[in-house]
Chain A
Amino acid sequence: DAKTTQPPSMDCAEGRAANLPCNHSTISGNEYVYWYRQIHSQGPQYIIHGLKNNETNEMASLIITEDRKSSTLILPHATLRDTAVYYCIVRTVSPYTGANSKLTFGKGITLSVRP
């Protein structure tokens, strides 16, 4: 799976949009971009994923650049409960090989939402 690069930390004000960047310059054509987050001491939580089109769900939006070498997770109205470590993960999705389901977690980006 391709490697991802995220800044170590960022902060934003409560109620404002949080834009979390991720670089994945070696991504290949069959690799998806996944985002998970881990709120202090809890298990990771799935947020969103995408291949090349922008995606939106009830939690967040995912913007993937046209060349797919970077992406941005957007939390439109950050709250204090969004303070967490956010992981950007690139992985192949194959129904044939169980190992391709593994999630390779890096150190992620620590988002601090301030009141």
Chain B
Amino acid sequence: NAGVTQTPKFQVLKTGQSMTLQCAQDMNHEYMSWYRQDPGMGLRLIHYSVGAGITDQGEVPNGYNVSRSTTEDFPLRLLSAAPSQTSVYFCASSYATGYEQYFGPGTRLTVT
């Protein structure tokens, strides 16, 4: 199993550009989520999904969209990038709600 994979590993955007961070898992996990981590801080939940076709907001959802059309994939879209979105983004998945979560390697995003 590859586990949780994220692409790209690094990305630089200009203010106002849009892009999609990709996340995929091959463990048939129902629950997937996106976190961001800023320097010196813990991880903060952006959006999560309890299964294909179902998504909901976390604590910092503004400026981000998600969709879940398949069990395997959970992309995160930045609609109009802002410097405040410079961060490291982690995707995570778990067998179901309440189980331990497995994290991807992260995407390091810089918005200039």
CB of A56, distance to nearest CB on chain B (Å)? 16
Are A102 and B48 also in contact (CB < 8 A) when A43-B90, A97-B97 are? yes
Mask of A29-62 contacts with B, CB within 8 angstroms, 1/0: 0000010000001111110010000000000000
A95, B98: Cα distance in complex, Å? 6
CB of B112, distance to nearest CB on chain A (Å)? 21
A102, B61: Cα distance in complex, Å? 14
Number of residues on chain B facing chain A (CB within 8 A)? 32
Mask of A79-108 contacts with B, CB within 8 angstroms, 1/0: 000000001000001111111111111111
Q: Are B101's CB and A103's CB within 8 A? A: yes
Number of residues on chain A facing chain B (CB within 8 A)? 25
Measured CB to CB, the residues of B under 8 A from A are 4, 31, 33, 35, 40-45, 48-50, 54, 56, 58-59, 88, 90, 92, 94, 96-106
Residue of A nearest to B31 (CB): A101
**Which among A46, A99, A100, A105 is the interface contact of B43 at CB below 8 angstroms?**
A105
Q: Are A44's CB and B90's CB within 8 A? A: yes
Interface hub of A45, A46, A87, A96 (most chain B Cβ within 10 A):
A46
Q: Are A95's CB and B97's CB within 8 A? A: yes
Measured CB to CB, the residues of A under 8 A from B are 34, 41-46, 49, 87, 93-108
Q: Are A95's CB and B105's CB within 8 A? A: no
Interface hub of A42, A45, A98, A103 (most chain B Cβ within 10 A):
A98
- Contact residues in A for B97 (Cβ distance below 8 Å): 94-98, 100-101
Ordered nearest first, which 8 A-B pairs have the shortest CB separation? Answer: A43-B103, A105-B42, A98-B50, A93-B98, A46-B100, A105-B43, A101-B97, A102-B45
A104, B60: Cα distance in complex, Å? 12
CB of A33, distance to nearest CB on chain B (Å)? 12
Residue of A nearest to B49 (CB): A98
Q: Are B94's CB and A101's CB within 8 A? A: yes
